[in-house]
Amino acid sequence: MKVLVTGGTSGLGLAMASALAATGATVALTGRSGERAESVAAGLPEAIGIEMDVRDESSVAGAVDEAWTRLGGIDMLVNNAGIGMRTVNPRFMTEPQGFWEVAPDAFRAVIDTNLTGYFLVAREITPRMLASGGGRIVNISMNHSTMRRAGFVPYGPSRAGSEALSRIMAADLRHTGVTVNMLLPGGATVTGMLPEDITGEGHGFLSPEVMGPPIAWLASDEAAGVHDERIVAAEFEEWLRDRESRQ
């Protein structure tokens, strides 16, 4: 399995890249800094690091081409690169701002990364997957409560948009051999998106490693043909048992 993980240098992306590499998958992970991507990739078996700014079409095109060439194709795309509320309001957990207080440039930056970025990367890689006979796309999402929480503009709308995008991608690609699924942690995770003073308390937050088992399963033979599912990582074992009982 050859996998491209966007935003793979830290947080959920790194946890997923690590889990995939541990299963024997060959992973290309991306970050805005090519140097950092290469440094992080060096810590994973057989992984490579590639510079990619998901907001920029030419950067996306170049990075996908490089990953496809160096890996010898891509079987799975994990659309994960994103930025959170810290970039808009560093105190968003304790002092939420009304949407009317959000700067337009900050709004655009989050939408461009979290929503348009998913579109641009999937748009670039899907024709290649179709031409090669198939592939898998996993879009990382968040809880529905996060999408409508007070003080969460523009992060909430960006993730709601990416979820709608995922559903439409799945509809467009049904019966093509390219599958599309969503994966979300199931709660706030200890990543750089949360304020340091909040995560330092360590209460009630998930570890990024919660994403490991479900992303490894989605890359497995068992998941071939699984399409248009919304999988909550914290509830993965229960979801898998329910799925198996229905078969």
- The CA distance from 49 to 39, in Å, is 7
* pLDDT value for 189: 60
What pLDDT is stored for residue 196 in this prediction?
Answer: 54
Q: What pLDDT digit, counting tens, does each position of 105-125 carry? A: 999 999 999 999 999 999 999
Transcribe 176-217 into DSSP letters.
Answer: TTEEEEEEE-SS-BSSTTS-HHHHTT--S-B-GGGGHHHHHH
Q: What is the mean pLDDT of residues 153-157?
A: 95
Mean pLDDT of the 229-245 span: 93
Q: Is 28 helix (H, G, I), strand (E, B) or coil?
A: strand
CA distance 18 to 6: 13
pLDDT band per the 50, 70, 90 thresholds, residue 191? low
Q: Is the pLDDT of residue 184 over 90?
A: yes
Mean pLDDT of 197-203: 49
Q: Could you tell me how far CA 246 lies from the centroid of its own chain?
A: 28
Q: Model-level pTM? A: 0.92
CA distance 27 to 21: 6
DSSP-assigned letter for residue 116: I
Output 166 or 190, whichever has higher pLDDT. 166
Dist CA 16 CA 5 (whole Å): 8
To which residue do tokens 């990953």 refer? 67
pLDDT of residue 201 exceeding 50: no
pLDDT digits (tens, 9 = 90+) for 204-220: 679 999 999 999 999 99
Active site positions, annotated:
155
Phi-psi region of 53 (alpha: psi -120 to 50; beta: other; left: phi over 0): beta
Please, are residues 88 and 110 in contact by the beta-carbon 8 Å criterion? yes
Task: Indicate the average pLDDT of the chain.
Answer: 93
Q: Which domains are present in the chain?
A: 2-246 (3.40.50.720)
Supply the DSSP symbol for 115.
I
Helices (H), the chain: 11-22, 34-41, 57-71, 104-111, 117-132, 144-147, 155-173, 196-199, 212-218, 236-246
Separation in Å, CA 132 to CA 53, 73, 141, 146, 178? 25, 9, 27, 37, 10
H or E stretch at 139: strand 135-140
Between residues 93 and 66, the one the model is more confident about = 66
Q: What pLDDT is stored for residue 204 in this prediction?
A: 66
Q: What is the DSSP pairing of strand 76-79 with strand 178-184? A: unpaired
Region 186-208: mean pLDDT is 62
Q: What percent of the chain has pLDDT over 70?
A: 94
